[in-house]
Amino acid sequence: MDPEFDDVVSVEDLMALERRFAEQRREGSVSRRCQFEYAWGLVRSPYRNDVARGVALLQELMPKGTKEEQRDYTFYLALGNYRLKEYERALAHVERLLGAEPHNSQGLRLQRLIRQRMRRDGLLGAAIVGGVALGVAGLLGLAISRARH
């Protein structure tokens, strides 16, 4: 776990953001700031469905934002996708951010973390596939030896 990118928002804070978002929605117009703050809270939720909803809200905001807002949206899209273990999407967003701000230290740290997770999960995936292949080969060998007897 990385405390900078894996910390979670408190339930109280998330509920307050949700209430404000719902209130503005009832009134007929949600400000970009309110939607972003709610999305920010959702992306930092410990619950996968919340994170996915936060990512969707950020994607909805992206075409509407100023250049500065889009920078924030892009970072939190990267973070949200990282938390969803959608590492390729997360990497694409963080690389877009770094294309505009190559020395963004937070973006560089997130990029490094995403790549580490991709490597780790890739190796884990390869080990699982290798184990399955070994098991199948063992069963095949057993079947062949029984067929010969």
Angle at 132 between CA 130 and CA 138, to 5 degrees: 100
| 24 located within any domain | yes
pLDDT at 5: 83
Write down the H helix ranges in 28-104.
32-43, 48-61, 67-83, 87-100
pLDDT per position as a tens digit, 8-57: 999 999 999 999 999 999 999 999 999 999 999 999 999 999 999 999 99
Domain that holds residue 106: 3-124
pLDDT per position as a tens digit, 75-106: 999 999 999 999 999 999 999 999 999 999 99
| 135 located within any domain | no
| 138 located within any domain | no
| 69 located within any domain | yes
| 65 located within any domain | yes
Number of domains in the chain: 1
| 149 located within any domain | no
pLDDT per position as a tens digit, 103-135: 999 999 999 999 999 999 885 555 455 555 555
pLDDT at 127: 47
